[in-house]
Amino acid sequence: MGLWQRDDAASNKTRSDTSSRFRIRAWAVVLWIMLWQAAAMLMDSALLLPGPVDVLARFFALAGTAEFWGRVGFTLLRIVAGFVIGVVFGAALAAIAMRFCRAGELFAPAMALAKSVPVACFVVLALIWAGASQLSVIVGVLVVAPIVYENVCDGVRATDVRLLEMAQVLRVPAARTFTAIYLPQVLPYFRAACASSFGMAWKAGVAAEIIAIPAGSMGEALYGAKIYFDTPDLFAWTLAVVVLSVLFEKAFAWVLDAVAARGMGAGSASKGVSSLEHGSVCLESACDDARVRSQADVASRGSQDVDRIHALACAPGDSGALRLDRIEFKGVGKSFDSVSAFSDISFTVEGDAPVCLMAPSGFGKTTLLRMAAGTENPDEGSVEALDVDGSVFVPRISMAFQEDRLIEHLDALANARIALHARDAVWDDAPRLLERLGIGDCIGKPARSCSGGQRRRIVLARALLTPHDALLLDEPFTGLDDASRTRAARIVRAHERGRVVIVATHDGRDAALLGARVVPLDSDERVDDAARSEGGDRDVQ
Region 183-203 average pLDDT: 88
CB 412 within 8 A of CB 452: no
Q: Running DSSP on this structure, what letter comes out for residue 516?
A: P
Residue 357 near residue 519, CB atoms below 8 Å: yes
> pLDDT band at 449, cuts 50/70/90?
very high
In the chain, where does the domain assigned CATH 3.40.50.300 lie? 296-532
Every domain range in the chain assigned CATH 1.10.3720.10: 65-267
Angle, CA of 102, 106 and 112, to the nearest 5°: 135
Q: Does residue 171 come out as left (phi exceeding 0), alpha (psi in the -120 to 50 range) or beta?
A: left
- Quick: pLDDT tens for 101-156: 899 999 999 888 888 877 777 777 777 777 677 888 888 898 899 999 999 999 99
Name the CATH superfamily housing domain 65-267.
Answer: MetI-like (1.10.3720.10)
State whether the Cα torsion 502-506-512-518 is positive or negative.
Answer: positive
- 482: pLDDT confidence band, cut at 50, 70 and 90? very high
Contacts 24+ apart (CB under 8 A), 36-41: none
User: Residue 475 has what DSSP assignment?
Assistant: S
| Residue 467 banded pLDDT, cuts 50, 70, 90 | very high
Mean pLDDT over the full length of the chain: 81
Burial of residue 170 (CB within 10 Å: 0-12, 13-18, 19+) is buried
CATH number of 296-532: 3.40.50.300
Most distant pair of Cα atoms in the chain: their distance: 107
pLDDT at residue 524 tops 60: no
pLDDT tens-digit map of 238-277? 888 888 888 888 888 888 777 766 655 544 444 433 333 3
Q: How far is CA 426 from the centre of its chain?
A: 25
**Contact between 338 and 361 (Cβ < 8 Å):** no
* % of the chain with per-residue pLDDT over 70: 80
Considering only CA atoms, give the Rg of the chain.
31
Backbone angles phi, psi at 411, to 5 degrees: -85, 180
Say how far apart CA 171 and CA 31 lie, in whole Å.
Answer: 58
Sheet holding 470-474, edge to edge: 397-400, 470-474, 500-505, 355-358, 517-520
Say what the pTM is: 0.73
Q: Which of 2-6, 12-16, 49-53, 404-408 has the lowest mean pLDDT?
A: 2-6
H-helix segments, 268-323:
285-292, 295-313
Which residues 6+ apart lie within 8 Å of 39 measured at CB? 49
